[in-house]
Structure 1
Amino acid sequence: MNEINIKIPLHKFQDLMISHVRYSLPRHTYIVSETIHDVKTYWSVLS
């Protein structure tokens, strides 16, 4: 897997993650499982 390390302010990351979840969860496609995985992976950063 290719990775890119970037620095963004925490509040911007929180906004991006919330937007990602709001967009993805109402869908009925594979993106729902990807979103759930993302939340499990990055939720600790949001707390």
Structure 2
Amino acid sequence: MYGRNSFRYSAASMWNSLPDTFRQYSSYNQFRFLIDQWNGPDCNCSACTR
């Protein structure tokens, strides 16, 4: 699958939409906690629409 519906494109877009402070954490647990609490931009990808 290529283009804007691909996982590669969606993952990069989601990563780029995160605040810079999220990307600075080296601990998976801290990062995961922040992601769970984050109310970022509305995403319509298959991973977010559950």
**TM-score bracket, shorter-length normalisation:** 0.3 to 0.5
TM-score by length of 2: 0.32
Query: Which structure exhibits the higher relative contact order, with contacts defined as CA atoms closer than 8 Å and separated by 6 or more residues?
Result: 2
